[in-house]
Amino acid sequence: MLGAGRIATITTEAVALSSGFDRRVTAIYAIWQALLPLIFFTLAIVISRLQIHRRTINPIVKKTARKEAITHDVLPRKPRHP
């Protein structure tokens, strides 16, 4: 285990609090343990989707030089290899 419990983290505090302190405080630590990864993974997914969207849409708009509705025919597809 990294740090062997010497470094105070949310997890080590939650384990220490679960041994008999107030259940409300323990619940708050448990919620934080669940929400922090959810927030960062959601942020990573949103950022990657925005980058993919920019990479696929912007070159198409620049090539056409006019702003039209982009249909599914213009979006890139899987390459077909013989």
Which of 72, 50, 75 lies closest to 60 in space, CA to CA?
75
- Interval 56-81 mean pLDDT: 58
pLDDT at 44: 94
Distances in Å between the Cα of 54 and the Cα atoms of 29, 34, 49, 50 are 38, 31, 9, 6
- For residues 40 and 10, give the distance between their C-alpha atoms in angstroms, rounded to a whole number: 15
pLDDT tens across 4-51, in order? 767 888 888 888 888 877 888 888 888 999 999 999 999 999 999 888
Confirm whether 45 is domain-assigned.
yes
Query: How big, in percent rounded to 5, are the helix, strand and coil portions of the chain?
Result: 65, 0, 35
Confirm whether 82 is domain-assigned.
no
Query: 59 falls in which pLDDT band (50, 70, 90)?
Result: low
Confirm whether 79 is domain-assigned.
no
Residue 73, pLDDT > 70, answer no
Confirm whether 72 is domain-assigned.
no
Confirm whether 35 is domain-assigned.
yes
For residue 31 the two structure tokens come to 């919620």
Residue 35, by phi and psi: left (phi above 0), alpha (psi -120 to 50) or beta?
alpha
The number of distinct structural domains making up the chain is: 1
pLDDT at 65: 47
Confirm whether 49 is domain-assigned.
yes
Q: What pTM value is reported for the model?
A: 0.51
Q: Greater confidence, 70 or 65?
A: 70
Confirm whether 37 is domain-assigned.
yes
Structural domain boundaries enclosing 57: 2-64
pLDDT at 15: 80
Confirm whether 13 is domain-assigned.
yes
